[in-house]
Structure 1
Amino acid sequence: MKKNFTILCCLFGMLSQYVYSQQLPPIFDKSFESQKDSRVRQYLTPRRIVWTSDKTSTSVVDAQNLLKKGTGQADLVHKNFCKLISNEQEKPGILFDFGKEIQGGIQLVTDQPSNQKPIHVRIRFGESVSEAMSDIDTIQGATNDHAMRDFVVEVPWLGVMQVGNSGFRFARIDLIDPNRELQLKEVRAIFEYRDIPYLGSFKSNDERLNQIWNTGAYTVHLNMQEYLWDGIKRDRLVWVGDMHPEVMTINTVFGKNEVVAKSLDQARDITPLPGWMNGISAYSMWWVLIHRDLYRNQGDLEYLRKQQKYLVALLDLLIAKTKDNKENLDGTRFLDWPSSENPKGIHAGLHAMMVMTLEAGAELCTILDEPAQATKCKATATQLKLYVPEVNGSKQAAALLALAGLIPAEQANTEVLAKGDCENFSTFYGYYMLQAKAKAKDYTGALNCIRNYWGGMLDMGATTFWEDFDLAWTKNAAPIDELVPDGKDDIHGDFGAYCYKNLRHSLCHGWASGPTSWLTEHVLGVSVLEPGCKTIRIQPNLGDLTWAEGTYPTPLGIVKIRHEKQADGSVKSTIDAPKGVKVLR
């Protein structure tokens, strides 16, 4: 009897184990298709309370408790919380500043008031104080486009609510149910980002330039989500033209990262030829230029070969879009928004881009053993160079024409780029304007534009660089981290144009990161001569700086660089390169 009982127990145990194994959650089932998020999550405590609706501490009580570091866990201690108390007329609210722009959401931890029913709260995210204080309307342009940043949710009694997926620095929370008490134990921002090291660096005797380099790097880092976005509030899309400055920054700061290939391949796969990427002919050209610059830095021939079929066909399409030695591109004809009302300038810029793209295409086709296509690209580029279009006052066009070798860089700089200093710069094409100034050897002028134009955003409270910017906006404006006083302009809500009017304007746009890669390339003097950085040249251009130092990531390791200006004006350089990297000076 005892033996039979033992056998039954064993059989029951085996059966239970079998049943349990069949009921495992799908995440443990290898046949269940899943994807791992490449990002991590971090929780941020508010740095300060910018505003509350209550000046008497009767409807907003003990708000300072929310500035204490939390745990994300509700408890039964019933201490150190904030109370929001509403009635029929008053609906209390608090505005928080998390100290820097982030991508993510918000976590609310509640305590235990006597009424246990869920409570409705309104949450508003903002890249500026004014955006977080705004309503969705047609007056200042606040929207929920691309990412919900203004919405109502229910929060539980004695629990945790996590919600939101947008770009923001500020968050406003309002209790909207009448005659209720909301007990908030914690309010924390949920910061989602790729946990990757900053391998590249830049420092100099000018702290403003150092901050600009770091801000550009951080701006792109935020946009390195599952794909490489243009902006973390808007548009959150893979815009291929926007990617070029971003990829140059990634090469400079992070080295090789899978988000670049993932995004380039997505653009390719959803754009069968003869379509243009994002519907814009220039953006298909940027795709070619990105691949050229990516291969120079990373030397990944296996990845480049995966582009071969599409690349060759795209180059054929571009060659077919020439007529009488001129570009004859269709699709949306676009360089950047500030130049969009200058068709002659757009034509000049597209013509220059066609030359640059076909020359890059010839370089790539030579690497890919496509000699006939390389010859065709070179011949077409040569023919296009016989015609030089009119700049028509466009700094964008002048920069591209200089970079394409169609006009002397010194002429482009003197006659167009240097006029009015940073007037008519744009955050996207400002990078190419800086590149053209460097080609003209105007390093001091370029450094001053970086200090004044990109530094002007920092003066307005920016922790990331913006979709567009005009120094004229700052003349009577309050910074983004303050409530706008009477008589002052709202730098976020009162300006902008095209797709970025008023509060719809993105204050974190990766295409604005140009100074980061520019400072490394031209001040530290790093240029790649052989794919994979096997040979690099280091020729510093300190301009008015007395010293500069930094690091540059290569597939073979990190190059360490320091330059010091001597009393006689010469520059002493100390360079430490990893094995396999040849350095020319």
Structure 2
Amino acid sequence: MFYLLLLTLVAPAYSQTATWIWYPGDWEISLSNKMQNRRTERGVFFPVFWKIDNHYVLMDFHKVFNLSQPEEIKLYVEGEYNVKIDGKAFEGSPSTITVPAGKHKINIKVFNQQQVPAIFVQGKTIVSDNSWLVTFEDKEWIDETGKTSDISATKWLNAGSSNLNDPTKLPSTYSLPVKPEPALRIERKPQALVADFGKETFGFLKLHGVKGKGKLTAYYGESKEEALSLEHSETFDRLTIAATTKQDTVISLSKAFRFVNLVHEAGISVDSVSVLYEYADISDKGGFRCSDEELNRIYDVSKYTLHLTTREFFIDGIKRDRWVWSGDAYQSYLMNYYLTNDNETVKRTMYALRGKDPVTAHINTIMDYTFYWFLGIYDYYLYSGDKSFIAQNYDRMQSLMEYCLGRRNKEGLMEGLPGDWVFIDWATGLSKAGAVSFEQLLLCRSLETMAICAGLADDAAGAARYTKEADLLKKKLFDYYWNENKQALVHSRVNGAQTDNVTRYANMFSILFGYFSEQQKQAVKKSVLLNNNIQKITTPYMRFYELEALCAMGEQVYVLKEMKDYWGGMLKLGATSFWEEYNPDKTGAEHYAMYGREFGKSLCHSWGASPLYLLGKYYLGVKPLEPGYSQYEIAPQLGGLQWMEGKVPTPDGTIELAVTTSQIKVTGATGTGVLKFSSRSKPVCKEGIVSDKGNGHYELTIEKGKTYTVKYKL
């Protein structure tokens, strides 16, 4: 459920742990530039095709401290810099200074053209953290009398950071950790070696005991067929070997693969191969187990898929794009909230996607991906309770929304203009002409998000304006797109008239957003979601939302079967991570083809991991009702399972749950929860009072840190 919460913004809590700080978003943008431009296809550099921003090169950092005694501090800086206390500069660029007792303002101004200007300050009480203020233009000058200028127009933000807490490791040298993993099987052929690592992996290929002179090519494959296809494998590396004694060689650019085919000239030998597996060091906090072993396997492979695509940022897939796509990332955020609850990767990804002003195109050039960015902002706030992130990004939200509103047609609807990519989904024959209902739906939700964030940023006029725009657009959505005969929203409006086509997208999202009446929801479930005559969805990307809409309407039994058929179908074909697209009607190597290329499909794609979210939110039934889980709901649904158990992470601990057909055991972690369930007989709970809500529905209040056991009859 979506809440219009107009709350007073409060300052974030700060720790006494020193960390590297910078202008918010700058390090994230710089890091994404480095990561996304590592992509190659068949040895060719393949950069992104949207605008790339860069960091500000001159930064002013400052904070006021009140000391009871003098304090020595150490300074670590990326760039040329000067240091001032109360406006008086120290000579040179000192690495250690002493701050006198009393109230003093410390300024550090840093210039760095090549890397992001960043500082690390370490003292007993004086430390660099996101309570420091930063600006890229302080507007400070002195007139002919020596009077300092009025700098009240300077825009100050709290410094950005990302838990980089080692002063000796510069932010510009950040990299993910690696660990060695051997190939499980090696098949030798004349002048070739084929290695199987047993499952999809990502990292740097290491060749052991290489000897000889000549050419060697490593062909990578997510499937064996791809690795063996010298003409069509998506990625490869070519090396020149000149070794008179056996040597080890690490290929410098990380790749995704399960299989590697080493093809070499005569006279070259290779003893074995391994991979330096590159990963984001993020621990699981959530979990799920149940009575169905196939579903357990689906959960485990979903978990591994998300870990593979969680790198410096949430990326789409590890083989082909390796880019930060907003639609893919939005789903990864949601899965993350139920598995690792890693807010740093969420924030990094949203900063990287947004970039800087001026806005010249939609995010990733895709209209719908711009709207997913807005939706991701609100979800982050709901799951984390972090209001400070809203304050830091409200200006960027406003300018991006103004760009969108300025591109509406004469009816006030979003319609693709030159340079816009209207994506929606990979679906054969899906029309993007005219004003597509799905895009209006996402804009309406984005406007609601803007109204919430305006309230949080104390912009009452903005909140009123965005609320009005959302209300007007929602009315148009039903006036222009609802078709009473079809009992559904039609797909598009062309030249001011409804088209006849009905697709699943706008209809299932209207269920999720709560835009339909109960009567409309039930009608759409029958006329669209459970209607096989409506074009089927074949990507995990949109299956995510389709199955969520059905879960939201209580169809967990049906969705469980669909998960087993769809994701289980990939497992039966040998998947060790979940794919970008799966069509059970395809056979053999057809499953690997996409984009007109034999092996163009990604076999490890972030949006394939959606069971993590579905099982956490709609089977375990845990979801926040207020930001940061200050209030939350637990509404478990077995959906035909005999038992299930799991954990859902929150900002302040983990909610634990174990459910059978006769007992529910739950432990609260934070805030106040409400357990909602149905029972055919009066339930019993010794630890709390169960409220009878009528018609076999019951509720139990869950307090922080307490465990409750409910005996009931399903």
For Structure 1 versus Structure 2, the TM-score category normalised by the shorter chain is: 0.7 to 0.9
Q: C-alpha separation between the residues in 2 aligned to 1:575 and 1:380?
A: 42
Q: Of the candidates 559, 562, 575, which is equivalent to residue 446 of structure 1? A: 559
Aligned to 1:98: 197
The yes-or-no answer on 1:304 pairing with 2:387 is: no
Instruction: Describe the shift of the 1:248–1:155 C-alpha distance in structure 2 as closer, same or farther (beyond 3 A).
Output: farther
Amino acid at match of 1:267: L
1:413 counterpart letter in structure 2:
K
2:489 aligned with 1:403, yes or no?
no
Which residue of structure 1 lines up, in the alignment, with residue 307 of structure 2?
221
Counterpart-to-counterpart distance in 2, 1:266 and 1:466? 25
| Residue of 172, 180, 183 corresponding to 1:35 | 172
**Aligned residue type for 2:512:** L
Corresponding residue of 1:464: 577
Cα shift at 1:581 = 5.1
CA distance in 2, matches of 1:92, 1:327: 57
**How far apart in 2 are the matches of 1:360 and 1:181?**
61
Q: Distance in 2 between matches of 1:309 and 1:366?
A: 13
Matched, 1:539 2:626: no
In structure 1, C-alpha distance between the alignment counterparts of 2:638 and 2:670, rounded to whole Å? 27
Q: How far 1:33 moved relative to its partner?
A: 5.8
2:338 pairs with 1:338:
no
For 1:136, the aligned partner's letter is E
Deviation at 1:538, TM superposition (A): 0.3
The counterpart of 2:250, out of the listed 151, 158, 162, is 162
- CA shift digits 1:366-387 (9 cap, x unpaired): 2222222222222222222223
Aligned residues: 481
**1:326, distance to aligned residue in structure 2 (A):** 3.5
> 8 Å contact 1:230–1:238 — kept in the other structure?
yes
Tell me, yes or no, if the aligned pair for 1:409 and 1:436 is still in contact at 8 Å. Answer: no
SS at match of 1:337: coil
Distance 2:169 2:631 in 1: 46
- After the TM superposition, which residues 153-552 of structure 1 pair with which residues of structure 2 at under 5 Å, given as runs? 153-154=240-241, 156=243, 157-163=245-251, 164-174=253-263, 176-178=264-266, 180=267, 182-184=269-271, 186-270=272-356, 272-322=358-408, 323-324=410-411, 326-328=413-415, 330=417, 331-338=420-427, 341-343=430-432, 347-386=436-475, 387-388=477-478, 389=481, 390-391=490-491, 392-407=501-516, 408-420=520-532, 423-473=536-586, 477=587, 489-493=588-592, 495-496=593-594, 499=595, 501-552=597-648
The alignment-based identity, stated in percent, is 27
Structure-2 change in CA distance of 1:36 and 1:550 (3 Å):
farther
Residues 1:151 and 2:288 are matched in the alignment: no
How far 1:577 sits from its partner (Å)? 1.8
C-alpha distance in 1, partners of 2:168/2:671?
Answer: 44
Instruction: Provide the residue aligned with 1:60 in structure 2.
Output: none
Quick one: structure 1 residues 234 and 551, their matched pair in 2 at CA, closer, same or farther if it must change by over 3 Å?
Answer: same
- Deviation, 1:447, is 1.5
Secondary structure of the 1:230 match is: coil
SS in 1 for 2:540: coil
Deviation of 1:491 (Å)? 4.1
Deviations 1:335-379 (A, max 9, x none): 122266323698021121122222222222222222222222222
- In structure 2, relative to structure 1, the CA distance for the partners of 1:232 and 1:119 (3 Å cut) is same
Of residues 222, 225, 235 in structure 2, which corresponds to 1:127? 222
CA pair 582-406 structure 1, distance change in 2 beyond 3 A: closer
TM-score, normalising length from structure 1?
A: 0.77
Matched-pair contact (CA < 8 Å) for 2:219–2:261: yes
Match of 2:8 in 1: none
* Structure 2: segments with no counterpart, 5+ residues: 1-166, 482-489, 492-500, 677-714
Deviations 1:461-502 (A, max 9, x none): 1111111111111xxx3xxxxxxxxxxx31444x43xx3743
Could you list the per-position Cα deviations for residues 155-199 of structure 1 after superposition, in whole angstroms to 9, with x for gaps in the alignment?
Answer: 63322101141111111122x223x15151x31122100122111
Query: What is the rounded CA distance, in whole Å, between the counterparts of 1:47 and 1:31 in structure 2?
Result: 37
The 2-side partners of 1:361 and 1:43 are apart by 46
Structure 1 or 2: more strand by fraction: 2
Structure 1 residue 267 displacement after superposition: 1.6
1:348 touches 1:401 (CA, 8 Å); kept in 2?
Answer: no
Q: Does structure 2 retain, via aligned residues, the 8 Å contact 1:333–1:346? A: no
More moved, 393-402 vs 278-287: 393-402
CA distance in 1, matches of 2:242, 2:649: 46
TM-fit CA distance, 1:153: 4.2
SS at match of 1:540: coil
Which structure carries more helix by proportion? 1
SS in 2 for 1:213: helix
- One-letter identity of the residue aligned with 2:624: V
CA RMSD of aligned residues (A): 2.5
CA drift of 1:439 comes to: 2.5
Give the structure 1 partner of residue 70 of structure 2. none
Secondary structure class of the residue paired with 1:324: coil
Partner residue of 2:139?
none
Q: Secondary structure at the match of 2:312?
A: coil
Q: Aligned match of 2:231 in 136, 140, 143?
A: 136
Query: d(CA) in 2 for partners of 1:31 and 1:562?
Result: 45
